[in-house]
Chains A and B, each alone.
Chain A
Amino acid sequence: MTREEIITKLKAIATPYVLNKSLLDAYNENTDFIKDLEINSANLVDIILDVEDEFGIEVNDQAMDGMLTVNDAVAVIQKELSK
Protein backbone atom coordinates (compact mmCIF):
# COMPACT_ATOMS: atom_id res chain seq x y z
CA MET A 1 0.00 0.00 0.00
CA THR A 2 1.42 3.38 -0.96
CA ARG A 3 1.90 6.24 1.46
CA GLU A 4 -0.71 8.27 -0.49
CA GLU A 5 -3.26 5.47 -0.20
CA ILE A 6 -2.76 5.34 3.57
CA ILE A 7 -3.15 9.13 3.87
CA THR A 8 -6.39 8.99 1.88
CA LYS A 9 -7.76 6.13 3.97
CA LEU A 10 -6.89 7.98 7.18
CA LYS A 11 -8.93 10.94 6.02
CA ALA A 12 -11.96 8.74 5.51
CA ILE A 13 -11.43 7.18 8.95
CA ALA A 14 -11.13 10.55 10.69
CA THR A 15 -14.06 12.19 8.92
CA PRO A 16 -16.91 10.83 11.13
CA TYR A 17 -15.20 12.31 14.19
CA VAL A 18 -14.87 15.80 12.71
CA LEU A 19 -17.80 18.10 13.49
CA ASN A 20 -16.67 21.07 11.44
CA LYS A 21 -16.21 19.38 8.06
CA SER A 22 -14.62 22.48 6.51
CA LEU A 23 -11.52 21.73 8.59
CA LEU A 24 -10.98 18.69 6.35
CA ASP A 25 -10.33 20.96 3.34
CA ALA A 26 -6.80 21.62 4.57
CA TYR A 27 -6.14 17.95 5.40
CA ASN A 28 -2.58 16.90 4.57
CA GLU A 29 0.19 14.73 5.98
CA ASN A 30 1.04 17.33 8.64
CA THR A 31 -2.51 17.60 9.94
CA ASP A 32 -2.82 17.18 13.73
CA PHE A 33 -5.98 15.23 14.61
CA ILE A 34 -6.77 17.23 17.75
CA LYS A 35 -5.41 20.69 16.93
CA ASP A 36 -6.30 20.95 13.26
CA LEU A 37 -9.42 18.79 13.02
CA GLU A 38 -10.72 19.60 16.52
CA ILE A 39 -11.30 15.93 17.28
CA ASN A 40 -12.07 15.18 20.94
CA SER A 41 -9.00 13.45 22.42
CA ALA A 42 -11.17 10.60 23.74
CA ASN A 43 -12.18 9.80 20.15
CA LEU A 44 -8.56 9.04 19.20
CA VAL A 45 -9.14 5.64 20.78
CA ASP A 46 -12.03 5.08 18.38
CA ILE A 47 -9.94 6.21 15.42
CA ILE A 48 -7.24 3.70 16.39
CA LEU A 49 -9.84 0.91 16.47
CA ASP A 50 -11.04 1.94 13.01
CA VAL A 51 -7.42 2.02 11.78
CA GLU A 52 -6.90 -1.51 13.14
CA ASP A 53 -9.99 -2.75 11.29
CA GLU A 54 -9.14 -0.97 8.05
CA PHE A 55 -5.50 -2.09 7.87
CA GLY A 56 -5.75 -5.41 9.69
CA ILE A 57 -3.13 -4.42 12.25
CA GLU A 58 -2.89 -3.97 15.99
CA VAL A 59 -1.74 -0.65 17.45
CA ASN A 60 -0.38 -0.93 20.98
CA ASP A 61 -0.69 1.78 23.63
CA GLN A 62 2.84 3.12 23.14
CA ALA A 63 2.40 3.48 19.41
CA MET A 64 -0.98 5.11 19.94
CA ASP A 65 0.50 7.78 22.21
CA GLY A 66 2.70 8.93 19.35
CA MET A 67 -0.12 9.13 16.79
CA LEU A 68 -0.98 12.81 16.93
CA THR A 69 -0.59 13.72 13.28
CA VAL A 70 -1.30 12.04 9.96
CA ASN A 71 2.46 11.56 9.49
CA ASP A 72 2.72 9.81 12.86
CA ALA A 73 -0.16 7.51 11.94
CA VAL A 74 1.31 6.68 8.54
CA ALA A 75 4.62 5.71 10.18
CA VAL A 76 2.90 3.42 12.70
CA ILE A 77 0.72 1.80 10.03
CA GLN A 78 3.64 1.25 7.63
CA LYS A 79 5.72 -0.28 10.41
CA GLU A 80 2.94 -2.67 11.40
CA LEU A 81 2.17 -3.59 7.78
CA SER A 82 5.81 -4.48 7.17
CA LYS A 83 5.87 -7.00 10.04
Chain B
Amino acid sequence: MSKRVVITGLGVAAPNGVGLERFTQAIKNGESGIRHFEEMEKLKFSCQIAGQPEYEKEFLNNYMNPVQLRGFNSTGLEYGVIAGVDAWRDAGLTFSQNEPYWDSGIIFGAGMSSADKYREAIYRVDAGNVRRLGSSTVIQTMASGISAYLGGIIGCGNIVTTNSSACTTGTEAVLMGYERIQSGKATRMLVGSCSDSGPYVWGGFDAMRILPSQYNSNPTAGSRPMSASASGFVPGSGGGALILETLESALERNATIYAEVLGGAQNSGGQRGSGSITAPNNQAVQRCIIGALQNAGVTAEQIDTINGHLTATTKDATEITNWSTALGLTGADFPYINSVKSMIGHCLAASGSIECVASVLQLKEGFVFGNSNCEDLHPEIASVISRDRIPTKTQAIAPRIVAKASFGFGDVNACVLFKKYEVNE
Protein backbone atom coordinates (compact mmCIF):
# COMPACT_ATOMS: atom_id res chain seq x y z
CA MET B 1 0.00 0.00 0.00
CA SER B 2 1.32 3.43 -0.87
CA LYS B 3 2.20 5.82 1.90
CA ARG B 4 0.09 8.81 2.90
CA VAL B 5 2.08 12.02 2.55
CA VAL B 6 1.62 15.11 4.69
CA ILE B 7 3.16 18.58 4.85
CA THR B 8 4.95 19.37 8.11
CA GLY B 9 6.92 22.50 7.33
CA LEU B 10 6.75 25.60 5.13
CA GLY B 11 9.22 28.30 4.17
CA VAL B 12 8.93 31.28 1.88
CA ALA B 13 10.82 34.31 0.58
CA ALA B 14 8.27 36.26 -1.44
CA PRO B 15 8.19 39.85 -2.72
CA ASN B 16 5.42 40.71 -0.22
CA GLY B 17 6.83 38.80 2.72
CA VAL B 18 9.94 36.93 3.81
CA GLY B 19 9.19 34.31 6.42
CA LEU B 20 6.00 32.38 6.96
CA GLU B 21 4.35 34.72 9.45
CA ARG B 22 5.01 37.83 7.40
CA PHE B 23 3.85 36.16 4.17
CA THR B 24 0.65 34.85 5.79
CA GLN B 25 -0.23 38.37 6.95
CA ALA B 26 0.59 39.80 3.53
CA ILE B 27 -1.65 37.45 1.54
CA LYS B 28 -4.48 37.84 4.07
CA ASN B 29 -4.26 41.63 3.81
CA GLY B 30 -3.73 41.71 0.06
CA GLU B 31 -0.37 43.47 0.40
CA SER B 32 1.47 44.03 -2.85
CA GLY B 33 5.16 43.26 -3.26
CA ILE B 34 5.39 44.98 -6.63
CA ARG B 35 7.50 48.12 -6.89
CA HIS B 36 9.28 50.30 -9.41
CA PHE B 37 12.90 49.35 -10.21
CA GLU B 38 15.19 52.23 -11.17
CA GLU B 39 17.60 49.78 -12.76
CA MET B 40 14.92 48.58 -15.20
CA GLU B 41 14.14 52.18 -16.11
CA LYS B 42 17.82 52.97 -16.65
CA LEU B 43 18.15 49.88 -18.87
CA LYS B 44 15.15 51.00 -20.95
CA PHE B 45 12.82 48.16 -20.06
CA SER B 46 9.23 48.61 -21.23
CA CYS B 47 8.09 47.14 -17.94
CA GLN B 48 9.89 48.81 -15.04
CA ILE B 49 8.03 47.15 -12.18
CA ALA B 50 8.79 43.83 -10.55
CA GLY B 51 8.67 41.82 -7.35
CA GLN B 52 11.70 40.97 -5.24
CA PRO B 53 11.92 39.70 -1.63
CA GLU B 54 13.35 42.39 0.64
CA TYR B 55 15.75 42.00 3.56
CA GLU B 56 19.09 43.31 4.77
CA LYS B 57 22.16 41.38 3.55
CA GLU B 58 23.04 40.59 7.19
CA PHE B 59 19.85 38.51 7.36
CA LEU B 60 21.66 35.84 5.32
CA ASN B 61 23.95 35.16 8.28
CA ASN B 62 21.04 33.22 9.77
CA TYR B 63 21.32 30.75 6.90
CA MET B 64 24.87 30.60 5.56
CA ASN B 65 28.33 30.84 7.08
CA PRO B 66 30.92 33.48 6.14
CA VAL B 67 32.84 31.05 3.90
CA GLN B 68 29.66 30.23 1.96
CA LEU B 69 28.87 33.94 1.64
CA ARG B 70 32.34 34.82 0.28
CA GLY B 71 32.10 35.54 -3.46
CA PHE B 72 28.38 34.81 -3.25
CA ASN B 73 26.35 36.58 -5.93
CA SER B 74 23.06 34.83 -6.47
CA THR B 75 19.65 36.10 -5.46
CA GLY B 76 17.90 32.87 -6.46
CA LEU B 77 20.15 30.78 -4.24
CA GLU B 78 19.52 33.21 -1.38
CA TYR B 79 15.75 32.83 -1.68
CA GLY B 80 15.98 29.07 -2.06
CA VAL B 81 18.22 28.70 0.96
CA ILE B 82 16.02 30.99 3.10
CA ALA B 83 12.85 29.14 2.12
CA GLY B 84 14.38 25.66 2.33
CA VAL B 85 16.09 26.15 5.67
CA ASP B 86 13.02 27.91 7.12
CA ALA B 87 10.81 24.99 6.06
CA TRP B 88 13.21 22.48 7.61
CA ARG B 89 13.32 24.41 10.88
CA ASP B 90 9.56 25.01 10.79
CA ALA B 91 9.09 21.23 10.67
CA GLY B 92 11.05 21.00 13.90
CA LEU B 93 14.02 19.33 12.22
CA THR B 94 17.73 19.87 12.84
CA PHE B 95 20.83 19.72 10.65
CA SER B 96 22.81 16.49 10.61
CA GLN B 97 25.95 16.77 12.74
CA ASN B 98 27.73 13.83 11.22
CA GLU B 99 26.04 10.99 9.35
CA PRO B 100 23.73 12.10 6.50
CA TYR B 101 19.99 11.71 6.89
CA TRP B 102 19.69 8.73 4.54
CA ASP B 103 15.87 8.86 4.38
CA SER B 104 15.62 12.62 3.74
CA GLY B 105 16.00 14.00 0.23
CA ILE B 106 15.65 17.23 -1.72
CA ILE B 107 13.96 18.09 -4.99
CA PHE B 108 14.39 21.83 -5.33
CA GLY B 109 13.79 23.37 -8.72
CA ALA B 110 15.15 26.38 -10.57
CA GLY B 111 14.77 27.85 -14.04
CA MET B 112 18.43 28.81 -14.13
CA SER B 113 21.00 29.45 -11.45
CA SER B 114 22.72 32.67 -10.50
CA ALA B 115 22.40 34.94 -13.53
CA ASP B 116 24.46 37.63 -11.79
CA LYS B 117 27.28 35.24 -10.92
CA TYR B 118 27.33 33.98 -14.48
CA ARG B 119 27.52 37.53 -15.79
CA GLU B 120 30.47 38.20 -13.48
CA ALA B 121 32.21 35.08 -14.83
CA ILE B 122 31.53 35.97 -18.47
CA TYR B 123 33.18 39.37 -18.05
CA ARG B 124 36.29 37.77 -16.50
CA VAL B 125 36.51 35.01 -19.13
CA ASP B 126 36.10 37.45 -22.01
CA ALA B 127 38.86 39.61 -20.55
CA GLY B 128 41.22 36.62 -20.61
CA ASN B 129 41.02 36.32 -16.84
CA VAL B 130 39.62 32.83 -16.45
CA ARG B 131 42.12 32.01 -13.71
CA ARG B 132 40.66 34.84 -11.60
CA LEU B 133 37.22 33.20 -11.38
CA GLY B 134 38.03 31.49 -8.10
CA SER B 135 36.24 28.46 -6.75
CA SER B 136 32.74 29.88 -6.39
CA THR B 137 31.58 30.15 -10.02
CA VAL B 138 30.71 26.53 -10.71
CA ILE B 139 28.88 25.78 -7.46
CA GLN B 140 26.64 28.81 -7.92
CA THR B 141 25.97 28.59 -11.64
CA MET B 142 25.43 24.84 -11.97
CA ALA B 143 21.73 24.18 -12.51
CA SER B 144 21.60 22.07 -9.35
CA GLY B 145 23.21 24.80 -7.26
CA ILE B 146 20.22 25.23 -4.98
CA SER B 147 19.77 21.54 -4.14
CA ALA B 148 23.51 21.28 -3.58
CA TYR B 149 23.56 24.22 -1.14
CA LEU B 150 20.54 22.96 0.78
CA GLY B 151 21.80 19.36 0.77
CA GLY B 152 25.04 20.47 2.37
CA ILE B 153 23.46 22.73 4.97
CA ILE B 154 21.00 20.07 6.14
CA GLY B 155 23.01 16.93 5.46
CA CYS B 156 20.50 15.03 3.33
CA GLY B 157 21.47 11.53 2.24
CA ASN B 158 18.58 10.56 -0.03
CA ILE B 159 18.09 11.93 -3.55
CA VAL B 160 19.34 15.54 -3.84
CA THR B 161 18.43 17.04 -7.18
CA THR B 162 17.04 20.04 -9.04
CA ASN B 163 14.09 19.85 -11.41
CA SER B 164 13.32 22.38 -14.11
CA SER B 165 10.16 22.87 -16.14
CA ALA B 166 9.81 26.64 -16.49
CA CYS B 167 6.86 28.05 -14.55
CA THR B 168 5.65 24.57 -13.61
CA THR B 169 8.88 23.86 -11.71
CA GLY B 170 7.69 24.45 -8.13
CA THR B 171 4.48 22.47 -8.37
CA GLU B 172 6.35 19.72 -10.20
CA ALA B 173 8.85 19.50 -7.33
CA VAL B 174 5.99 18.95 -4.88
CA LEU B 175 4.60 16.13 -7.00
CA MET B 176 8.00 14.53 -7.53
CA GLY B 177 8.74 14.58 -3.81
CA TYR B 178 5.27 13.23 -3.07
CA GLU B 179 5.80 10.31 -5.45
CA ARG B 180 9.20 9.54 -3.98
CA ILE B 181 7.74 9.25 -0.48
CA GLN B 182 4.61 7.48 -1.63
CA SER B 183 6.68 4.80 -3.33
CA GLY B 184 8.67 4.21 -0.16
CA LYS B 185 12.00 5.52 -1.48
CA ALA B 186 12.24 8.32 1.07
CA THR B 187 10.61 9.20 4.38
CA ARG B 188 10.97 12.94 4.11
CA MET B 189 11.51 15.34 1.21
CA LEU B 190 12.34 19.03 1.13
CA VAL B 191 10.67 20.27 -2.05
CA GLY B 192 10.43 23.74 -3.52
CA SER B 193 11.90 26.09 -6.06
CA CYS B 194 13.56 29.46 -6.47
CA SER B 195 14.11 32.10 -9.10
CA ASP B 196 16.66 34.93 -9.45
CA SER B 197 15.77 38.60 -9.46
CA GLY B 198 17.06 41.12 -11.90
CA PRO B 199 17.24 42.43 -15.43
CA TYR B 200 19.13 39.45 -16.89
CA VAL B 201 16.31 37.10 -15.94
CA TRP B 202 13.43 39.45 -16.68
CA GLY B 203 14.84 41.01 -19.88
CA GLY B 204 13.91 38.09 -22.13
CA PHE B 205 10.27 38.38 -21.11
CA ASP B 206 10.29 42.14 -21.66
CA ALA B 207 11.62 41.45 -25.17
CA MET B 208 8.72 39.04 -25.79
CA ARG B 209 6.39 41.99 -24.97
CA ILE B 210 4.40 39.97 -22.50
CA LEU B 211 5.05 42.30 -19.54
CA PRO B 212 2.83 45.33 -18.79
CA SER B 213 4.32 48.71 -19.69
CA GLN B 214 1.58 51.10 -18.55
CA TYR B 215 1.89 50.69 -14.78
CA ASN B 216 5.42 51.99 -14.26
CA SER B 217 4.15 54.89 -12.15
CA ASN B 218 1.52 52.76 -10.39
CA PRO B 219 3.34 49.50 -9.61
CA THR B 220 0.90 47.89 -7.18
CA ALA B 221 -1.87 48.06 -9.80
CA GLY B 222 0.31 46.36 -12.43
CA SER B 223 -0.38 42.70 -11.71
CA ARG B 224 -4.00 42.16 -12.74
CA PRO B 225 -4.91 38.48 -13.12
CA MET B 226 -8.44 37.92 -14.46
CA SER B 227 -8.93 41.64 -15.05
CA ALA B 228 -10.32 43.11 -18.27
CA SER B 229 -7.37 45.49 -18.22
CA ALA B 230 -4.71 42.79 -17.71
CA SER B 231 -1.90 43.41 -20.16
CA GLY B 232 0.87 41.03 -19.18
CA PHE B 233 2.52 39.50 -16.15
CA VAL B 234 4.69 41.45 -13.73
CA PRO B 235 8.02 39.65 -13.30
CA GLY B 236 8.81 38.41 -9.82
CA SER B 237 11.32 36.33 -7.93
CA GLY B 238 11.69 34.45 -4.69
CA GLY B 239 11.57 30.98 -3.23
CA GLY B 240 9.11 28.62 -1.61
CA ALA B 241 9.60 25.32 0.19
CA LEU B 242 7.60 22.54 1.79
CA ILE B 243 8.56 19.58 3.93
CA LEU B 244 6.75 16.43 2.85
CA GLU B 245 6.87 13.27 4.90
CA THR B 246 5.01 10.07 5.57
CA LEU B 247 2.00 10.47 7.82
CA GLU B 248 3.55 7.74 9.92
CA SER B 249 6.76 9.71 10.48
CA ALA B 250 4.88 12.95 11.17
CA LEU B 251 2.69 11.31 13.81
CA GLU B 252 5.62 9.50 15.34
CA ARG B 253 7.53 12.70 15.98
CA ASN B 254 4.40 14.64 16.86
CA ALA B 255 4.96 17.18 14.10
CA THR B 256 2.56 19.95 13.12
CA ILE B 257 0.64 18.74 10.07
CA TYR B 258 -0.30 21.58 7.74
CA ALA B 259 -2.16 19.47 5.18
CA GLU B 260 -2.14 16.21 3.30
CA VAL B 261 -1.02 15.84 -0.31
CA LEU B 262 -3.81 13.81 -1.90
CA GLY B 263 -2.19 13.41 -5.30
CA GLY B 264 -1.91 15.13 -8.62
CA ALA B 265 -0.91 14.86 -12.23
CA GLN B 266 1.60 16.19 -14.71
CA ASN B 267 1.56 16.14 -18.45
CA SER B 268 2.48 18.00 -21.61
CA GLY B 269 0.42 19.10 -24.55
CA GLY B 270 3.21 18.03 -26.87
CA GLN B 271 3.11 21.49 -28.45
CA ARG B 272 0.32 20.22 -30.67
CA GLY B 273 -3.18 21.62 -31.20
CA SER B 274 -3.42 24.99 -29.41
CA GLY B 275 -0.09 24.19 -27.73
CA SER B 276 3.29 25.63 -28.65
CA ILE B 277 6.53 26.15 -26.80
CA THR B 278 4.95 29.22 -25.19
CA ALA B 279 1.21 28.39 -25.20
CA PRO B 280 -0.70 25.56 -23.58
CA ASN B 281 -2.58 22.85 -25.42
CA ASN B 282 -6.00 23.29 -23.78
CA GLN B 283 -6.82 19.63 -24.10
CA ALA B 284 -3.67 18.79 -22.13
CA VAL B 285 -4.51 21.33 -19.39
CA GLN B 286 -7.96 19.79 -18.97
CA ARG B 287 -6.57 16.25 -18.99
CA CYS B 288 -4.02 17.27 -16.34
CA ILE B 289 -6.74 18.65 -14.04
CA ILE B 290 -9.00 15.62 -14.57
CA GLY B 291 -6.04 13.29 -14.05
CA ALA B 292 -5.12 15.05 -10.82
CA LEU B 293 -8.66 14.63 -9.45
CA GLN B 294 -8.68 10.94 -10.36
CA ASN B 295 -5.25 10.37 -8.85
CA ALA B 296 -6.28 12.14 -5.65
CA GLY B 297 -9.65 10.40 -5.46
CA VAL B 298 -11.49 13.71 -5.33
CA THR B 299 -14.61 14.83 -7.20
CA ALA B 300 -14.90 18.29 -8.74
CA GLU B 301 -17.65 19.23 -6.26
CA GLN B 302 -15.31 18.53 -3.33
CA ILE B 303 -12.87 21.26 -4.35
CA ASP B 304 -13.46 24.30 -2.17
CA THR B 305 -10.96 26.61 -3.75
CA ILE B 306 -8.55 26.73 -6.67
CA ASN B 307 -5.22 28.47 -6.69
CA GLY B 308 -4.75 29.11 -10.38
CA HIS B 309 -1.72 29.78 -12.54
CA LEU B 310 -3.43 33.02 -13.68
CA THR B 311 -0.56 35.28 -14.66
CA ALA B 312 -2.45 38.35 -15.92
CA THR B 313 -2.11 37.76 -19.63
CA THR B 314 -4.89 37.23 -22.15
CA LYS B 315 -4.55 33.51 -21.35
CA ASP B 316 -6.36 33.91 -18.00
CA ALA B 317 -9.79 33.59 -19.60
CA THR B 318 -8.64 30.44 -21.40
CA GLU B 319 -7.40 29.01 -18.10
CA ILE B 320 -10.76 29.64 -16.42
CA THR B 321 -12.54 27.94 -19.32
CA ASN B 322 -10.17 24.99 -19.03
CA TRP B 323 -10.86 24.63 -15.30
CA SER B 324 -14.60 24.95 -15.88
CA THR B 325 -14.61 22.37 -18.66
CA ALA B 326 -12.39 19.92 -16.76
CA LEU B 327 -14.44 20.20 -13.56
CA GLY B 328 -17.80 20.34 -15.31
CA LEU B 329 -18.73 23.30 -13.12
CA THR B 330 -19.89 26.78 -14.12
CA GLY B 331 -21.46 29.87 -12.63
CA ALA B 332 -22.13 29.73 -8.91
CA ASP B 333 -21.20 26.02 -8.76
CA PHE B 334 -17.58 26.77 -9.62
CA PRO B 335 -15.18 26.75 -6.61
CA TYR B 336 -13.54 29.91 -5.31
CA ILE B 337 -10.47 30.81 -7.33
CA ASN B 338 -7.56 33.12 -6.63
CA SER B 339 -4.10 34.08 -7.86
CA VAL B 340 -1.12 34.89 -5.65
CA LYS B 341 0.35 36.69 -8.65
CA SER B 342 -2.01 39.62 -8.13
CA MET B 343 0.16 40.51 -5.11
CA ILE B 344 3.67 39.34 -6.02
CA GLY B 345 3.72 39.05 -9.81
CA HIS B 346 4.90 35.96 -11.61
CA CYS B 347 7.85 34.50 -9.73
CA LEU B 348 8.60 32.20 -12.71
CA ALA B 349 10.35 29.01 -11.55
CA ALA B 350 9.55 29.98 -7.96
CA SER B 351 5.88 30.67 -8.62
CA GLY B 352 4.64 27.09 -8.14
CA SER B 353 6.29 26.57 -4.77
CA ILE B 354 5.39 29.99 -3.33
CA GLU B 355 1.81 29.46 -4.49
CA CYS B 356 1.70 25.93 -3.04
CA VAL B 357 2.78 27.45 0.29
CA ALA B 358 -0.05 30.01 -0.02
CA SER B 359 -2.52 27.23 -0.92
CA VAL B 360 -1.55 25.17 2.12
CA LEU B 361 -1.72 28.20 4.44
CA GLN B 362 -5.35 28.67 3.42
CA LEU B 363 -6.13 25.12 4.59
CA LYS B 364 -4.19 25.42 7.82
CA GLU B 365 -5.42 28.88 8.83
CA GLY B 366 -8.91 28.69 7.37
CA PHE B 367 -9.20 31.49 4.83
CA VAL B 368 -9.42 32.13 1.11
CA PHE B 369 -7.25 35.10 0.22
CA GLY B 370 -8.63 37.83 -2.01
CA ASN B 371 -7.54 38.78 -5.51
CA SER B 372 -6.15 42.26 -6.02
CA ASN B 373 -6.68 44.36 -9.13
CA CYS B 374 -9.56 42.45 -10.72
CA GLU B 375 -12.49 44.66 -9.84
CA ASP B 376 -12.95 44.96 -13.60
CA LEU B 377 -13.39 41.24 -14.20
CA HIS B 378 -12.63 40.08 -17.72
CA PRO B 379 -16.00 39.64 -19.51
CA GLU B 380 -15.04 36.24 -20.90
CA ILE B 381 -14.39 35.03 -17.35
CA ALA B 382 -17.62 36.60 -16.09
CA SER B 383 -19.52 34.67 -18.75
CA VAL B 384 -18.19 31.34 -17.38
CA ILE B 385 -18.17 31.69 -13.58
CA SER B 386 -19.96 33.88 -11.07
CA ARG B 387 -18.34 37.08 -9.93
CA ASP B 388 -18.50 36.01 -6.28
CA ARG B 389 -16.29 32.99 -7.03
CA ILE B 390 -13.43 35.44 -7.46
CA PRO B 391 -13.24 37.25 -4.12
CA THR B 392 -11.52 40.61 -4.12
CA LYS B 393 -11.19 40.53 -0.33
CA THR B 394 -10.01 37.68 1.90
CA GLN B 395 -12.87 35.43 2.96
CA ALA B 396 -13.15 33.82 6.39
CA ILE B 397 -14.05 30.48 4.83
CA ALA B 398 -12.20 27.34 5.91
CA PRO B 399 -11.53 25.31 2.76
CA ARG B 400 -11.00 21.55 3.10
CA ILE B 401 -9.61 20.84 -0.35
CA VAL B 402 -7.58 23.14 -2.57
CA ALA B 403 -6.47 22.47 -6.13
CA LYS B 404 -3.24 24.13 -7.28
CA ALA B 405 -2.06 24.15 -10.88
CA SER B 406 0.93 25.58 -12.69
CA PHE B 407 1.58 25.74 -16.41
CA GLY B 408 4.88 26.43 -18.12
CA PHE B 409 6.75 27.11 -21.33
CA GLY B 410 7.37 23.85 -23.12
CA ASP B 411 3.61 23.21 -22.89
CA VAL B 412 3.97 21.49 -19.52
CA ASN B 413 1.34 21.25 -16.80
CA ALA B 414 1.12 20.19 -13.17
CA CYS B 415 -1.85 20.02 -10.83
CA VAL B 416 -1.80 19.00 -7.17
CA LEU B 417 -4.58 18.49 -4.61
CA PHE B 418 -4.07 19.43 -0.95
CA LYS B 419 -6.48 18.57 1.84
CA LYS B 420 -6.82 19.92 5.35
CA TYR B 421 -5.53 17.29 7.73
CA GLU B 422 -8.14 16.05 10.15
CA VAL B 423 -6.99 13.96 13.09
CA ASN B 424 -9.81 11.43 13.07
CA GLU B 425 -9.11 10.21 9.51
Contacts and interface: CB of A to CB of B under 8 A. Distances in A.
B127 interface: no
B67 to A, nearest CB: 6
Contact of B135 (A16, A18, A19, A43): A43
A17 interface: yes
Contacts of B139: 42
B65 A46 contact: no
A17 B132 contact: no
Interface string A1-44: 00000000000000011110000000000000000000010110
Nearest to B71: A46
Nearest to B68: A19
B66 A19 contact: yes
B65 to A, nearest CB: 6
A17 B69 CA distance: 10
B57 interface: no
Contacts of B136: 46
Nearest to A49: B134
B132 A46 contact: no
Interface in B35-93: 65-67, 70-71
B66 A46 contact: no
Contacts of A17: 67, 70
A80 to B, nearest CB: 15
Nearest to B65: A19
B132 A49 contact: yes
B134 A16 contact: no
Contacts of A40: 67
Contacts of A43: 67, 135
A16 B66 contact: yes
Q: How large is the interface on A (under 10, 10 to 19, 20 to 34, 35 or more residues)?
A: 10 to 19
B214 to A, nearest CB: 47
A16 B134 CA distance: 14
B145 to A, nearest CB: 14
A81 interface: no
Give the interface centre of B65, B66, B132 by most chain A CB atoms within 10 Å: B66
Contact of B134 (A18, A19, A45): A45
A42 B65 CA distance: 16
Interface string A41-67: 011011001000000000000000000
A54 to B, nearest CB: 14
Interface string B106-142: 0000000000000000000000000010111001000
Contacts of A49: 132, 134
A42 B66 contact: no
B70 A16 contact: yes
A46 B137 CA distance: 11
Contacts of B135: 42-43, 45-46
B281 to A, nearest CB: 45
A38 to B, nearest CB: 10
Nearest to B136: A46
Give the interface centre of B132, B134, B136, B139 by most chain A CB atoms within 10 Å: B134
B19 to A, nearest CB: 26
Interface string B360-381: 0000000000000000000000
Contacts of B71: 46
B133 to A, nearest CB: 9
Nearest to B66: A16
B132 A19 contact: no
Interface string B252-287: 000000000000000000000000000000000000
B290 to A, nearest CB: 49
Give the interface centre of B65, B67, B135, B139 by most chain A CB atoms within 10 Å: B135
Contacts of A46: 70-71, 134-136
A43 B67 CA distance: 9
Contacts of B66: 16, 19
Given A16-B70, A46-B71, 15 more contacts: A16-B66, A17-B67, A18-B67, A19-B66, A19-B67, A40-B67, A42-B135, A42-B139, A43-B67, A43-B135, A45-B134, A45-B135, A46-B70, A49-B132, A49-B134
Interface of B: 65-67, 70-71, 132, 134-136, 139
Enumerate the 8 nearest inter-chain pairs by beta-carbon distance, A residue then B residue, closest first: A42-B135, A45-B135, A46-B134, A46-B135, A17-B67, A19-B65, A19-B67, A49-B134
13 contacts: A16-B67, A17-B70, A19-B65, A40-B67, A42-B135, A42-B139, A43-B67, A43-B135, A45-B134, A45-B135, A46-B70, A46-B71, A46-B136
